[in-house]
Amino acid sequence: MRKIILLLLLLFITASVLAACLRRPAETPPREIKETVVLFYGDQGNEQLLSEERVISYREGEDRYSVVLTELIAGPQSGNLRANISPQTRVYGTIRQGDALIANVSKEFAQFSGSVAEVLAVLSVVSTLTQFEDVRLVKILVEGEELIGPSGQPRGFMPIAKQEQAPETLTLYFANSQATAVSPEKRKVTLPAGSSLEDRLKITLEELIRGPQIAGLFRTIPEGVRILLVAVEKNIVTVNFSREMETNHPGGAAGESMTINSIVNTLTEFEGIDLVAMTVEGEPMSIEHMILDAPVRRNEAMIER
């Protein structure tokens, strides 16, 4: 008899719970939001940022900025635009701090094809996210760590980026045919707006590594050399090259002199730069005869006019 009473009681409780569940109104799913946003990509020449409108959709309560950033990484729909961010990049999320936004992305973001691509990739993120009135500053994290700039220091919070082109004529110094002096070559490049001094110096060095465009001039930096760091402190710029600067260098006193004077005279064309310190993998550069354990000053006597 007791078992029957317990069974009836259990059935009553179960029926009551089911009835309550049936009376409870169904939960309303989060509202879908559609929004037209502006995404920024490089032009075909990768000289400036251009914009492209895109309609995005997300659910109420979803991270709006992550959705926008994911759309940006997906790449442009127009054939006239160029992506500078690896499409394999994943967005881990964003955090708001007042009018500042922190975006955390995967390591693929930092796999840039060059200094210009790096600048434009960063600017495309900043320009895209600062289109919103509540975002004025953007910090990029890669795998939870701050994105590092050419100086070896974190880029930190970056403000709204201006979109104007910044054409500039560089003066690059290459060796003459006798390797007795360096001779200037004017080269016009379009530096992305918002480029820091370190960005501009690194882009200039990459142009120097590409070699001369004028007949009768010769390269001074071996092929395969990479620029690991460009840091400016007061009137001194420190450049850290990859090991290829020493292992791929043809050597000789004349070749060594051409390399040093080419780099120093090129970088001291920039206002405020008077001295150049050169290292290889963090150690003083030593191609053959000289160990550059101190910054080098511009040498006008080695310039062929």
The predicted-structure confidence for 170-207, as pLDDT tens digits, reads as follows: 999 999 999 999 999 999 887 777 788 999 999 999 99
Q: Same domain for 73 and 153?
A: yes
What integer pLDDT is reported at residue 273 of this predicted model?
A: 96
C-alpha 179/C-alpha 259 separation (Å) is 10
Report whether pLDDT(103) > 60. yes
* Mean of per-residue pLDDT scores for the chain: 89
Q: Is the pTM of this model over 0.85?
A: no
Q: Same domain for 250 and 186?
A: yes
Pairing of strands 145-146, 158-159: unpaired
What integer pLDDT is reported at residue 285 of this predicted model?
A: 92
Domain-terminating residue out of 144, 159, 174: 159
Q: Same domain for 190 and 119?
A: no
What integer pLDDT is reported at residue 174 of this predicted model?
A: 97
Q: Same domain for 109 and 216?
A: no
DSSP label at residue 222: -
pLDDT digits (tens, 9 = 90+) for 226-275: 999 999 999 999 999 999 999 999 888 899 999 999 999 999 999 999 99
Residue with tokens 């000789």: 252
Report whether pLDDT(16) > 70. no
What integer pLDDT is reported at residue 6 of this predicted model?
A: 56
What integer pLDDT is reported at residue 303 of this predicted model?
A: 95
Give me the count of residues in the chain.
305
Q: Same domain for 58 and 78?
A: yes
Residue 15 lies in a domain: no
Residue 58 lies in a domain: yes
DSSP label at residue 208: H
Pairing of strands 137-142, 100-105: parallel
Contact 200, 219 (CB under 8 A): no
Q: Same domain for 148 and 200?
A: no
Q: Same domain for 128 and 39?
A: yes
Q: Same domain for 184 and 210?
A: yes
- Distances in Å between the Cα of 159 and the Cα atoms of 70, 136, 183, 209, 226 are 21, 6, 39, 31, 29
Report whether pLDDT(126) > 80. yes
pLDDT digits (tens, 9 = 90+) for 49-65: 899 999 999 988 899 99
Residue 285 lies in a domain: yes
Q: Same domain for 155 and 179?
A: no
Residue 17 lies in a domain: no
> Residue 127 corresponds to which tokens in the numbers above?
């320009």
Residue 133 lies in a domain: yes
User: The domain containing residue 257 runs over which residues?
Assistant: 166-302
Residue 23 lies in a domain: no
Contact 186, 170 (CB under 8 A): yes
